[in-house]
Amino acid sequence: MNSHLSGALRNAFEELAETAPPPAGLAPAALVAARRQRITRRIASGGTAVAVCAALIGVIAAVAPTSTTDGTDRSASDTMRPNVVTAYTGIRDANVTDPSPHFFYSLLLDYSTGRYERVAYPYVKPSPDGRRVLVTTYDDSATPPMRTGLMDRASGDVRWISDATIGSSLAENPWSPDGRWILLIDIQGERGFGLLDPETLKITYVPLPDVASQPEQRLNLVWTPDGNGVAMMFTQVADQPEDTVTGIRFYDLTGRVVRTVSTGPGAYPFLPTLSPGGGGIALRTRSSPQEPFVITVVDSTTGAVRHTVTAPPGGSLLGWADEEHLLFQVVDSDQGPAQPSAATTAGATQSRQLVVVDLDGRVDHSVTLSAVDSHQYFQRLFIGPSTGLPPTAAPITF
């Protein structure tokens, strides 16, 4: 290496680093931005931040039967419903204080018993059919060594994935609705996406040739409900603030553009966004941190607004429960029941509930998250179909 070049580079970076002082108000702005994104929720007395995200596309069963328990808490009912929490992941073990791999653990639903079993992986993501589980190991150190693998649920055996191009953000890598692929969103050095075959662990790279030519910022990739393509949310560069969706482009699994839908400005992306039947796209519209956000449901073909739904107080949108209902998590017990007019039968407020709301904004039913202690920290939960659960598991379905 040319020592003069090394010196020139060091000088150049040092000069660049000194061109400006840090802006004022970084921390308050970050706190407001985090609240705006509804990633954090205040929990009643624990005061612990909980980040919850669900991967629902394709793992939700078909349209639910007509509810007979309008506005009720599912913990008080024995009706089997189509959805269930299949895993809680990143649960903090309070007995471990060092940054060891045991810092977090996960709970996986056992479909044969309807109970959750503890597994020693800090991150798990079950496939839609429950046969396989994407697992990741890491600890709490600054740059934790990470390993990712696929666990066979029956045997517990894990096949570790050695490909370094996959990246570390596995939380954004969703199973396809049919469980045949795992969508790799952030591939190092690739302008496109990857498809990981869980049978062979072989990765197929799919370039998106139009990406380089479009003056847009890509925000997210999700599966289409039929599993035959992906949808990319994007924003126009010139006049839109960061992370604001202005359109969605659909691709088939070869990277060919199928169609582009303009959604208009002012909506934030989240996962997932497409309804299970593929007809609707739910977008979260801009709101102040003090107000409930509004979900705009647009037609997935025309982009026309079909519904606007106000989120329950303290609720964050997880996705679609079925074609006609949205699913929210309500974390903050301080803010009262999800919908006072409809949830009065639920009685006392709950610290963590999943609330199913129809497209007119009415609460259809809710279920209390009982697998983890109400004050226990967990990072994510995942939702899947309740098919195959014993009748005794009805109270945890929704």
Partner 1 sequence: MNADLEREFTEFVEARSHSLFRTALALTGHRQQAEDLLQTVLAKGVPHWERIRTGNPEGYLRTALYRQQTSWWRSVRRGREVSAEQVPEIAEPRDDNATVDLGLALRQALARLAPKHRAVLVLRYFEDLPDSEIAQILNCTESTVRSQHARALARLRVLCPDLAILDTKEKTSR
Q: Is 15 in the site for partner 1 (CB under 8 A)?
A: yes
Q: Is 211 in the site for partner 1 (CB under 8 A)?
A: yes
Residue closer to partner 1, measured from CB, 21 or 391: 21
To partner 1, the closest distance from the beta carbon of 31 in angstroms equals: 6
Q: Is 145 in the site for partner 1 (CB under 8 A)?
A: yes
Q: Is 294 in the site for partner 1 (CB under 8 A)?
A: no
- Please report, in angstroms and rounded to a whole number, the separation of the first and last CA atoms in the chain: 62
Count of residues interacting with partner 1 (CB under 8 A) = 70
Q: Tokens in use for 106?
A: 């996960």
Scanning 206-214, 318-326, 343-351, 355-363 for contacts with partner 1 by CB under 8 A, the matching segment is: 206-214
Instruction: Select the residue interacting with partner 1 from 94, 154, 164, 348 (CB under 8 A).
Output: 164
Instruction: Select the residue interacting with partner 1 from 113, 168, 288, 301 (CB under 8 A).
Output: 168
Q: Is 94 in the site for partner 1 (CB under 8 A)?
A: no
Cβ burial of 29 (10 Å; 0-12, 13-18, 19+) is exposed
Tokens 């039929």 belong to 226
For β-strands 123-126 and 115-119, DSSP reports them as: unpaired
Q: Is 156 in the site for partner 1 (CB under 8 A)?
A: no
CA distance 29 to 390: 48
Scanning 188-196, 197-205, 222-230, 366-374 for contacts with partner 1 by CB under 8 A, the matching segment is: 188-196
Residue closer to partner 1, measured from CB, 207 or 303: 207
Q: Tokens in use for 199?
A: 């049978």
Scanning 16-24, 109-117, 273-281, 321-329 for contacts with partner 1 by CB under 8 A, the matching segment is: 16-24
Please list, in sequence order, all residues whose beta carbon lies within 8 angstroms of the beta carbon of residue 155, skipping any fewer than 6 positions away.
none
Q: Is 212 in the site for partner 1 (CB under 8 A)?
A: yes
DSSP secondary-structure letter at 351? S
Instruction: Select the residue interacting with partner 1 from 61, 70, 79, 92 (CB under 8 A).
Output: 92
Please list, in sequence order, all residues whose beta carbon lies within 8 angstroms of the beta carbon of residue 5, skipping any fewer than 6 positions away.
none
| Residue in 104, 98, 142, 96 with CA at minimum distance from that of residue 123 | 104
Q: Is 146 in the site for partner 1 (CB under 8 A)?
A: yes
| Residue in 224, 238, 160, 158 with CA at minimum distance from that of residue 193 | 224
Instruction: Select the residue interacting with partner 1 from 102, 153, 167, 313 (CB under 8 A).
Output: 167
CB atoms within 10 A of CB 33: 13
CA distance 229 to 223: 6
Q: Sign (positive/negative) of CA torsion 133, 137, 140, 144?
A: negative
| Residue in 105, 78, 81 with CA at minimum distance from that of residue 92 | 105
To partner 1, the closest distance from the beta carbon of 393 in angstroms equals: 30
Q: Is 39 in the site for partner 1 (CB under 8 A)?
A: yes
Footprint on this chain of partner 1 (rule: CB under 8 A): 2-6, 8-23, 26-31, 33-34, 37, 39-40, 42, 47-51, 92, 97, 99, 103, 140-143, 145-146, 164-165, 167-168, 185-191, 211-212, 214-219, 237, 242, 377
